[in-house]
Amino acid sequence: MPSISERGEKMPQSAIRKLVPFANKAKQEGKTIYHLNIGQPDILSPEKVMEGIREIDVKYLEYSPSAGLEGYREGIAKYYQNLGHNIGANNVIVTTGGSEALTFAFMSCLNPSDEILTTEPFYANYNGFASIANVKIKPIKADIKDGFSLPPISKFKEQITSKTKAILVCNPGNPTGYLYTKEELEEIKELVIEHDLYLFSDEVYREFCYDGKQHVSAFDLKGIEDNVVIIDSTSKRYSMCGARIGAFISLNEKLMSTCMKYAQARLSPPLLGQLAGLKALDTEPSYFDAVRDEYVERRNLLVNGLNKIHGVICPKPSGAFYTVAQLPIDDSDKFCQWLLEEFSYENQTVMLAPASGFYASKEDGINQVRIAYVLNLEALSKAVKCLEEALKVYPGRV
């Protein structure tokens, strides 16, 4: 039998999706599963988007330009202009989701074995993108006791080597929901200037900031315009995960030319997704107001309910729709699998993402889970009850 590539062997398995076979088996057994493991909201996409999809009248599905439809890129640029940023269509390359945008960023900006600093826990697939590009993620650990705020900047300085070429932030964060302050981002900016680093800013949850707090973009940081790459996506903003449309955005002309080579190599981003994205740009502000209000209610129900369970620690996030909770358990991977294989409360159970997959070291996050509050209030309430009952009987409770 032919051997598998070393690259393929090293490619990490999805920490979020690896439990799917156990969930499928539980469903076949008739259990109701509350899916809090994945960022797939049950929020409806904007009606204008759905109307636009139904009205699409094309004779055949042709290639779009490799950079994306010009009208769509102009629309994205206008979106950023309305946020106060001097972005033109030539600063935008449309990608197949934010995932491809990050992969393009890693391959355009870094050489093999170069290093990217980021805080952990971090979005698990960053490891996968880094593996594809043959670069290394070097994490600086944030503490649940501090609500996963930015670690002391001295911790970043300790990790900088001649191989360090970039800092990656997710703001608001996945998996923690933490929202970085202007002061924290200014600290990062000073490091970027001192060591001439790239700053990759994953801002796909920008619209979802709570409690009166405002999002600060990497584009708001003055003096590092050529160092910044923004990663964007339609998936979460408009509840269009299946459209698979994202964007690579930068003011660095040479970098845009380099990224364009990768865009051309994969031919073009999805045409139907771009047409839907174009419609999404006309979404009324009231849509986001309603969605934010809904997420705040869900967050409050979930976080308050979890913190009432003995032994559970759960910070209240200020953005996105995730939180990381610490549970009184021995091993989150075992616990999450046990929930699907062996536990049932009134023929219901919960699917969670073990937080171990969001840390670089397998020893970290061993008693933590990521929870996505993407279900309606009734389902969330039942999920919290299931989790409370599960912790009463789990054999590995500590």
The residue ranges of every structural domain in the chain are 6-44+286-393, 47-280
The burial of 86, by beta-carbon neighbours within 10 Å (0-12 exposed, 13-18 middle, 19 or more buried), is given as: exposed
Pick the range with the lowest mean pLDDT from 7-11, 37-41, 134-138.
7-11
**CATH no. for 6-44+286-393:** 3.90.1150.10
Coil vs helix vs strand at 319: strand
Alpha-carbon span 95 to 5, nearest angstrom: 27
Q: What is the pLDDT of residue 7?
A: 86
Work out the mean pLDDT of the chain and round it to a whole number: 96
What is the model's pTM?
Answer: 0.96
Pick the range with the lowest mean pLDDT from 3-17, 29-43, 350-364.
3-17
Q: Could you say which DSSP state residue 313 is in?
A: B
Alpha-carbon span 315 to 307, nearest angstrom: 9
Percent over 70 (pLDDT), the chain:
100
Q: What is the pLDDT of residue 17?
A: 77
Q: What is the pLDDT of residue 115?
A: 98
329 forms beta bridges with 397
Q: Which architecture does CATH list for 47-280?
A: 3-Layer(aba) Sandwich (3.40)
| Residue 7, H or E segment | helix 6-10
Q: What is the pLDDT of residue 361?
A: 79
Alpha-carbon span 315 to 147, nearest angstrom: 5
Looking at residues 223-227, what average pLDDT do you find?
98
pLDDT exceeds 80 at position 16: no
Q: What is the pLDDT of residue 362?
A: 74
Coil vs helix vs strand at 229: strand
Looking at residues 173-185, what average pLDDT do you find?
98
The residue ranking higher by pLDDT, 180 or 17, is 180
Question: Which tokens belong to 148?
Answer: 């996963």
Q: Could you say which DSSP state residue 209 is in?
A: B
Contact 38, 16 (CB under 8 A): yes
Q: What is the pLDDT of residue 336?
A: 97
Alpha-carbon span 376 to 354, nearest angstrom: 22
Residue 321: pLDDT band with limits 50, 70, 90: very high
Question: Which tokens belong to 57?
Answer: 């009248």
Q: How many CB atoms lie within 10 A of CB 369?
A: 29
pLDDT exceeds 90 at position 6: no
Residue 323: what residue type? T
* Nearest residue to 183 (alpha-carbon basis) of 157, 140, 221: 221
Tens-digit pLDDT profile for residues 83-132: 999 999 999 999 999 999 999 999 999 999 999 999 999 999 999 999 99
Pick the range with the lowest mean pLDDT from 12-16, 65-69, 101-105, 150-154.
12-16
Q: What is the pLDDT of residue 14?
A: 79
Tens-digit pLDDT profile for residues 196-224: 999 999 999 999 999 999 999 999 999 99
Percent over 90 (pLDDT), the chain:
95
Sequence-separated (6 or more) residues with CB below 8 Å from residue 203? 171, 215, 217, 218, 230, 231, 232
Sign of CA dihedral 229, 230, 233, 236: positive
Looking at residues 169-190, what average pLDDT do you find?
98
Coil vs helix vs strand at 17: coil
